[in-house]
Each structure stands twice: as C-alpha cells, then as structure tokens.
Amino acid sequence: MCSDNGRGDENMVRLLARAIAFILMIAMVADWAGRLLVGAVWAQPPAELAAGYSIPVTVTSKLPAENVPLDPLVDFDKAISAINAAGVLDPNSIEVREIGTGRVVAHSLGDGFGVSNRGRVQWVASRPDQRTYEIRFRTAAVRPVLRPRQFTPLVGVGDLVSYNAGVPRPVTMRFPARLVDLTGDGRLDLVGTLPHYYAPGGELGGIVCIPQVAAEGELEFGEMARLRYRQSAGDDQSKHFMGPYLVADVIDVNRDGHPDVIYTTTSKTTRFQPDRSIHKFVHVFLNSGRRDAGGMPEFVFDRKFPLPSNPAAADSGGHWWGPVRVVDLDGDDVLDLVVGRMFSDQADLVRDPRCYFLKNTNPRGWPMQLAPEVVIDCGCRACFLDVDGDGRRDAVGLILDPNAQTPYRGNLVTWRKNLGGKTPRFGPPRRFPGSPLKHSTFLSAVDTPRRRGLLLNDKRTHSVRFLELLGPSDQGDIRFRSHVIASRSADVVAGDQASPFPCDWDGDGDWDLVVGGGNGWPTVILNEGTDRRPRFALPRQISSEGRPIRIFMSQVFPGIRGYFHDMGYPFPSYVDWDGDKLPDLMLPNITNRVFWYRNVGTRTEPKFGPRQQVLVDGYPETSQTLKATARRLGAGTGKWNKRMLDPASPFGWRARAGFGDFNGDGLVDMVHADGRTRHSGGYAEAYALFVQYRDGEGHLRLRRDRVITHPDGKPLKCPGYITSQAIAADWDRDGLLDLICHWGPANTKCQPMFVRNIGTRTKPRFDHPRPLSLWGQPLYNLMKHGPYWAVHDIDGDGRPDLLAGCAYGNYAFYRRTAMDMPSRPTFQIGTARRLSR
C-alpha cells in the first residue's frame, strides 16, 4: 500500500509540474503578445512558437573568380506552401550557410522584402568552388517588420553602403510628414516622402515608412519600407506612390481609427505619370485596414480635391502643391486642409509666408466639404502645433536667416501665435529660445497623446531631428528635447547629390569617403573599421584655416546674391597637386572655376590652408573677369542665366574633373569639361586635358593641352543636360590611366563609360567609350540626378570597383567580379525541409 501511494504521489507531482509548465508557457505567450502590443524592443515569439526550415541553393553556373556576388530570387511564401508548413516568413531569421563547411555567410536582403516575402537574398561566394548553400529561416504566426541589421555586408550588386557602426546612425527623409503608428504595434513610425530615386534602378520618389523598433521612451528606427496603394477596392494590383516631388500628410481623415495618406505633387511629375493633371489636386487614399506581406497598410484611392491656383506660382503650372496639412485649424473639431508653396521662393531675399486655408464645412468631418480657399499669413511652409499651451494650434514655419551665407535655402524656424478667429490669424514670427534652428527646408508637426513636437529636416545631410515639446519652463520659456531619428542599419547618407571620392584620408590603410554636396560643404566620412569590413563615422565637415569649407555661386561671383540656383556641388578629389608628397583637396564645383586647398598638415592628420584657384595659362583671374562672368549670369538685372559660354574660363560649368599623371612627368594633370564648347543644355560638349609643368623658375603651372579625342579624331563627348564626370583610373590594370566618364543624351538616360588609354605612359590616346555593365547589363538610366561615380578597390582584391553616388548622398556598390561577368549566376533552388529542433 505504501509503495503504491508513493507512486501515486509521484504521479501527482509530475502532473502538477506539467500543469505549472503549461501555465507558465501560456503566461510567456501572453507576456510576449502584451509586450509586442506595448512596444518592447524587437519583440519576437518564444522559440517554441517558431519552426525552422532550410532551402537548398546550388549555383549552377561557373564562378570565374573569388568574391563573386550571388543573389538568388527566393519566394518564401511559395517554399512554405509547397510543404504545407504553417505560419509566414520571419525575414529577420534568414541565415545563409555554406554546405560542407557550415559557415554562416553575411548576407543582405533586396528591396522586395520590405513589402513581400519574395526577394533577392544577397551574399558573396568567397571561393569559385563554393557553390552549394542553404538558406535557413523561421516562420511566425504574424509577419514581423524588418529589424535593423547589426551588420550589412557590401555585396556589390548595387546595394547601398551602410554605416555598420554598431550604434544608431541618422536616417534620411527629405520631407518628413508625421510620427504615426503605421505598423500597428503601438510605436510611432516615421513617415514621409522622397522626391528622387533613393537607390539605383529603384522607384522614382515615393512615400515611405521607417518603423520604430525601440522600447517605450526610446526613439530608434528600423528599415525603410515603401507604402503602396490600390486604385480601387477591387483592384488586385498594388502600386508604389511615385513622384518625383511628393509631399504628404498621414492622418485619420475619416475617423475610422486607421491613418490615411493625403498627398500633393508638382507639375514635374506629369513627365513621369500618365495623369497630366495630377499636380492640380490633393489626392486622398484611405487605409483599407488590410496589410501587405511586409506589414504595411494597404491604401485605396478614395477621392481628390482641386488645389487653389495662382498664375504666379512658379514651376507648378499655376498651382500650389504643398506642403499639405490636414489639421483642425479653427478649433471646430473637424479636420481642415491647408496648402502652401514649395520652394518657389527658396532663393529670394524674403520668404513667402502665405498659405491657403480650405475650411471643412461638413460638421461630421467626413467626407470633407471644402469651402473656397482663404489666404492666411502663417509662415513659409508652415505646420501647426500648440506651442504655448493655450489650446490653439500655432503656426511654425520658416523665415529667411539674416545671417545665412546665402539666402538659397538659408532659413530659420520660427513660430507665430494663433490669435483666434473663424479664419485663424497669426502673430509675427518669434524665434525659439536657445540655439537658432537653422539648416531646415521642411518641417512637420507631431501631435499625439504620447509625443508632441516638430520634425525638421537638415539640408546639409538630409537627416531628420525630432524636437520634442516639453512645455514651458518655470520662467515661461518653450523647452524642447532634440532627438536624431536614427537606425542601427542606416545607410551612409551625406547630403544632396554628394559626389564621392574613396581614398585613405588619414593614412591608416583603409578607404574613407571624401564627398561633396549640393549645398557646398565638402565632408569626410572616416572608416573606423577595415577595407573588408568598413565601419563609418558620421560625416564631418572639412575645414580650411579652422572654418568649414563651403562653395556656392554667389560666394564666387560678385553681385548675384539671390541667384536662383545658389548651390555649390563640390566634386572633391584628394591628390598631391603641388608635388610635396601630401594629398591636397581639389574642388571642381558648380561654377566654371576650380579651387584647391593645400595640405599643410601630415599624412595622418590633414589640415588645409586657404582656398587657391587653379589657373590656366592664358586665363588670368581678376576682379574684372569675375564681374564679367557675373554679368553673364544676370548680375544687376535679376534675370538669371546659367551655364553660358564664358571666355573668361577654360572650364565647363558644374563638371567633375579627373586627376592623374597622364604624361609620365611625375606631376598630376587634370581632365575637365572643355569650357570652349557648349551643349544645347548649357553644359560643355567635350573633355579637355590640362597638364601641369614647371616653368623656367621651377614654379608649377597649368596649360590646356588638347581636346580628348577618339581614334577617328572626334571629341570624347560629355553627357547632355547633366553633370559631366571624368575619373582617372587604371581600369584594365595595364599600367596606363584610363577614363571613366558619364555619358548619355539626358539626365535620366546616362551611364558610366570605360574609355581605355591605348597610347603610352607619356602620350595618352583614348579608344571609343564602352559601357560598364553589371552581369552584362549596362548601368543605364539608374536615376535622375547622377549617379556620381567613383572608382576604387573597395573589396581589397586588387581590382578597381565602382561606387555610385545617389541623389541623397547615399552610395551603391558594384563589385568588379560581377561587372566583368557576361551574365548573372544561375541557381537551382530546392524544396524546403523542416529542421529538427
């Protein structure tokens, strides 16, 4: 009896233990679900809820060398369905392994995984005989959003260079719209628009979301995802919102609990869209409540409202086009519409403070019934936020910064008190206390129960700050806390069209990036890692005599303050121009003058002296020649011109130059756009070689040598309607300097060309251009602005690779092994199998 009772007690203990374990497991699941809802850091289901799978991948084509990029297209939904597995892909669980060695290979994911479970998985085959792999992954009950990657390898198929810093780095957003919960996890995500191509071959502009991934109280963000829409509820095809030059607001317009999308655009968009009147309306897309495979809401077009028109509205077909703000401006608890004027006054000596207020007269709020527009004086590109806590939304906008070096994009952020009224009136501009809020060209209000404040872009780097409004201090001052919107997987971004020059800036043996930028500041981005595994610091402005270097039109030419395109576009190179064994900073730029800064520091700590001009024999520079060029630009008239023939300079406008010793005398020479020629678009039509020499007194001088020609005697052509680029590099590794040039008939139809040096070390001659390709496909029509090319051995294998500088100052990498292959590798993708636990 006693023995049986003991066994019974043991059974009861086991049953009780199992019951407790089951209860604990339920509690774990409930806790995980609860944390997922309230915003835990990168919350994932416990391991017991996930199943692991493996897909075999075999490279069926020959790999010609080491370090060949591989990018099989994998449809995970199809793979899961084929074996009747439960759940959906967790894209954060994807892992690539070599068969045979079991080694985990660093990989990246193509853009497709932002909106679906089908895309290219990208990695590098380290050896040509390593051709079998497996892709491991897990499933989940609900598709998680993409988490930030701790390390993103450089694959070389046009993938973007990441900071890989191990800490959050700034993300880019040209026109931030809102912090709003789009993913449904309770966190505020960053939503906004991109006016141009973000990456080579991608979509032209668009509306994007960068989900927040950090715990409550923190502001850390993940991977950018594009928002999509359907034209009608019955439409089975999702489309990307496309620009260029969209501005948007994201707010629940029909009060159904889901944020909707409202956008406007410019007449320039009609060049790329079949809808020829797209710029004349505010477009409303309602949130359907459904989500795409990437976890983003699916939006459905609902209606459009006509925009106010004004024949004086520059560059917009007579129509205002943004910003667009959906806000209860008059305090009647229904959402109104306010539209402003985008950038038509960005170079003027004043800022246009007018916006149009379109009152919603429907007391139920939706659908909107808009009254005729009323002009309100509320500030340039204003948004609306209760700054002083009196219950009324004040106007926050831009004024001209009186201390700006140039009025072009030289703004201060100010606020105007809401004075009330059925048609709201606003007081005069007031500055915020503390440091002046400069360098912004666009701002938006954040007005949620959890966070209130302002989103500000930064024209220098295209980064975004969130100024969180903390309310008045005891002294009544307005207080903000500044947050940089950042992600651990952020791409390197350096600013508007920031032309790259990879080099060893600080003599530590790895490649860094020296870059330009449309607004005129050259910067350096130091590599704190290695050649094979780079890790980048934040961009740092380069100084001359203790002050940041900056170049822009009205700084070079007198009497053109207020010039309509007062930008800089420095195209830096880091070469030993003066023959003293230290690399100097060369800065061709938007003007038809070239400047340089002598390195007066050391190889490991460069420092730069004052700006000097590169002068060519027969082209002296005086105050009179500068004034003559300024008159051709419109000085004294205000009727601005650009890129005209100018006998005062031998150089073309807005051209990137290549530097190297082309005649074997040990001195650095220069290939530049030939200022004696002019294409119909205003840019130079041909390239010329300028060579350095020493005069009888041993002084360095520069002379125009000749126009660069092909074997048939015809000149090497510059591209039409876009920046010319000449890069000196020994592309074919035969000991002679070749040229990599940008060529094409228009700014959206250009490509990099290899111009082989078929001469000798002392007498260069150049062959007909040949297009550079990726897997046999020319790198053609990749984006509107640029790309700005750079040549360097990025992966350390002894062969020059290619970097493409994109519109935002982000950089795409093309590995030479892939460029030399006639076609993409082919793959056999097998059937998935479940992994044992």
446-449 long-range Cβ contacts below 8 angstroms, 24+ apart: 446/178, 446/179, 446/188, 446/385, 447/385, 447/386, 447/393, 448/179, 448/180, 448/188
Query: What does the pLDDT look like over 452-491, one tens digit per residue?
Result: 999 999 999 999 999 999 977 666 788 999 999 999 999 9
Instruction: Tell me phi and psi for residue 664, to 5 degrees.
Output: 75, 20
Q: Is cis: bond before 534, omega within 30 of 0? A: no
Looking at this protein, which amino acid is placed at residue 93?
S
- C-alpha 164/C-alpha 490 separation (Å) is 8
Torsion sign over Cα 533, 537, 539, 543: negative
Contact 175, 223 (CB under 8 A): no
Locate 483 and state its tokens: 């947050």
- C-alpha 77/C-alpha 55 separation (Å) is 12
For the chain, the first-to-last Cα distance in angstroms comes to: 42
Instruction: Tell me phi and psi for residue 819, to 5 degrees.
Output: -70, -30
Locate 172 and state its tokens: 């880019």
If residue 17 lies in a helix (H) or strand (E), which one and from where to where?
helix 2-38
- C-alpha 387/C-alpha 393 separation (Å) is 7
What one-character DSSP code corresponds to residue 711?
T
Instruction: Give the pLDDT score at 21.
Output: 44
Nearest to 411 by CA among 423, 399, 419: 399
Looking at this protein, which amino acid is placed at residue 650?
P
Provide the 3-class DSSP secondary structure of residue 200.
coil
Contact 365, 400 (CB under 8 A): no
| 754-to-658, 739, 762 alpha-carbon distances in Å | 13, 6, 20
The CA-CA-CA angle for residues 432, 438, 440, to 5°, reads: 110
**CB-neighbour burial class of residue 730 (10 A; exposed 0-12, middle 13-18, buried 19+):** middle
**CB-neighbour burial class of residue 428 (10 A; exposed 0-12, middle 13-18, buried 19+):** exposed
Provide the 3-class DSSP secondary structure of residue 555.
helix
Contact 722, 742 (CB under 8 A): yes
Locate 78 and state its tokens: 């199809």
- C-alpha 300/C-alpha 71 separation (Å) is 33
Radius of gyration from C-alpha coordinates of the chain: 29
- Tell me whether strands 118-125 and 108-109 are parallel, antiparallel or unpaired: antiparallel
| 248-to-230, 260, 263, 667 alpha-carbon distances in Å | 17, 10, 4, 53
Locate 399 and state its tokens: 């004024």
- C-alpha 573/C-alpha 293 separation (Å) is 44
Beta bridge partners of 56: 134
If residue 818 lies in a helix (H) or strand (E), which one and from where to where?
helix 816-820
Ordered by where they begin, the domains of the chain are 52-156+816-837 (no CATH), 173-487 (2.115.10), 553-814 (2.120.10)
Residues 6+ apart with CB under 8 A from 698: none
| 546-to-542, 543, 603 alpha-carbon distances in Å | 9, 6, 18
| 315-to-264, 634, 721 alpha-carbon distances in Å | 14, 20, 18
What one-character DSSP code corresponds to residue 6?
H
Locate 306 and state its tokens: 């006509």
- Which residue bears the tokens 């939904």? 77
The alpha carbon of 202 is separated from its chain's Cα centroid by a whole number of angstroms, namely 12
Instruction: Tell me phi and psi for residue 807, to 5 degrees.
Output: -60, -30
- Which residue bears the tokens 């880019």? 172
Instruction: Tell me phi and psi for residue 670, to 5 degrees.
Output: -140, 135
Residues 6+ apart with CB under 8 A from 14: none
Residues 6+ apart with CB under 8 A from 506: 512, 526, 604, 605, 606
* Segments in the chain below pLDDT 50: 1-17, 19-49, 314
Query: What is the torsion angle, in degrees rounded to the nearest 10, for the CA atoms of residue 25, residue 28, residue 34 and residue 40?
Result: -150
CA atoms within 13 A on the CB side of 680: 2
- C-alpha 656/C-alpha 516 separation (Å) is 11
Residues 6+ apart with CB under 8 A from 476: none
Instruction: Give the pLDDT score at 508.
Output: 97
- Tell me whether strands 228-230 and 297-306 are parallel, antiparallel or unpaired: parallel
Provide the 3-class DSSP secondary structure of residue 357.
strand
Contact 69, 818 (CB under 8 A): yes
- C-alpha 211/C-alpha 223 separation (Å) is 7
- Which residue bears the tokens 């990879």? 502
| 210-to-54, 160, 280, 287, 534 alpha-carbon distances in Å | 29, 16, 29, 18, 24
Residues 6+ apart with CB under 8 A from 11: none
Locate 32 and state its tokens: 């995980």
- C-alpha 353/C-alpha 156 separation (Å) is 47
CA atoms within 13 A on the CB side of 475: 3
- C-alpha 104/C-alpha 106 separation (Å) is 7
Q: Which residues in 23-110 belong to E strands, given as ranges? A: 52-59, 68-70, 73-75, 88-98, 104-105, 108-109
- C-alpha 669/C-alpha 664 separation (Å) is 10
Contact 305, 359 (CB under 8 A): no
Instruction: Give the pLDDT score at 311.
Output: 64
Instruction: Give the pLDDT score at 341.
Output: 80
Instruction: Give the pLDDT score at 267.
Output: 83
Nearest to 704 by CA among 731, 729, 676: 676
Contact 351, 398 (CB under 8 A): yes
| 415-to-57, 430, 436 alpha-carbon distances in Å | 58, 5, 12
- C-alpha 353/C-alpha 586 separation (Å) is 40
Query: What does the pLDDT look like over 62-71, one tens digit per residue?
Result: 999 999 999 9
